Amino acid sequence: MSSYTHYIFGYGSLAHTGQLRTFLHRAEWHPGDWFFCRLHGYRRAWNVAMDNRVLRPGYKYYVDRATGERPAAYVTFMNVYPMAGASIGGVLFGVTPTELALLDRREANYQRISLDAGAVEQPVSGRLWLYVGLPAAEERFRRGCTMALPSSIAHITRQLWQVFRRTVPPPLPISGNHRPAPGASA
């Protein structure tokens, strides 16, 4: 791998390297910047939600494609949780400290936790991180999620989306009638 000091394991929207490259303001990925790999000891779940009614400066929200109105809904996102013997596929990518701070702001419904280097198949020379749902975001899901949007998988490959749907089906129907509002950050 390249000589980054931080590495992120991406399993949802952070597994889309094209969208990620744009978000990180990189002109291109270089060899060794990212790899497909498996994370051991975790399983995916759809159990994190944001309240689309609450405006958070600089953070995304969703609008109806036809009307432009903002639905009063909890929006579901993908998460992971520890599970002995389980493993998930995803993307391991290197980031600078500045990019890490950008990702921390983007992943507002998640907390970044440190992983042991042996948790992934790819050896890394820096710190290994994983974003897991904040307790408050998991509580919003439990309170009554009303809509699942393909936001955490909207830009990944069709093949990877099919794998996600087979292994961890969303808890609610996916709504294709909503999109992030213009100008809202990813």
Give the separation between CA 82 and CA 106, rounded to whole angstroms.
23
Q: Does residue 79 form part of some domain?
A: yes
pLDDT in tens, 29-43: 998 899 999 999 999
The confidence score (pLDDT) of residue 156 equals: 47
Query: Which is more confident, 177 or 54?
Result: 54
Q: In CATH, what number is assigned to the domain containing residue 103?
A: 3.10.490.10
Question: Within 10 Å of residue 21's Cβ, how many Cβ atoms?
Answer: 16
Q: Does residue 1 form part of some domain?
A: no
**Statement: residue 68 has pLDDT above 50:** yes
Give the separation between CA 110 and CA 108, rounded to whole angstroms.
5
HSE of 160, CA atoms in CB hemisphere, 13 A: 20
Q: Does residue 185 form part of some domain?
A: no
Q: Which two tokens stand for residue 99?
A: 């990019």
Q: Does residue 37 form part of some domain?
A: yes
**Statement: residue 161 has pLDDT above 90:** no
The confidence score (pLDDT) of residue 111 equals: 98
Q: Does residue 173 form part of some domain?
A: yes
Closest CA to 177 of 154, 143, 145, 144: 154
Query: Across the chain, what does the average pLDDT equal?
Result: 83
Contact 167/44 with Cβ under 8 angstroms? Answer: yes
Question: Within 10 Å of residue 132's Cβ, how many Cβ atoms?
Answer: 18
Residue 36's domain comprises: 6-180
Q: Does residue 186 form part of some domain?
A: no
The reported pTM is 0.80
The confidence score (pLDDT) of residue 179 equals: 60
**Statement: residue 154 has pLDDT above 70:** no
| Least-confidence region, from 91-95, 121-125, 163-167 | 163-167
Closest CA to 165 of 49, 8, 12, 9: 12
Split into its structural domains, the chain has a count of: 1
Contact 185/58 with Cβ under 8 angstroms? Answer: yes
Burial of 73 (0-12, 13-18, 19+ CB in 10 A): buried
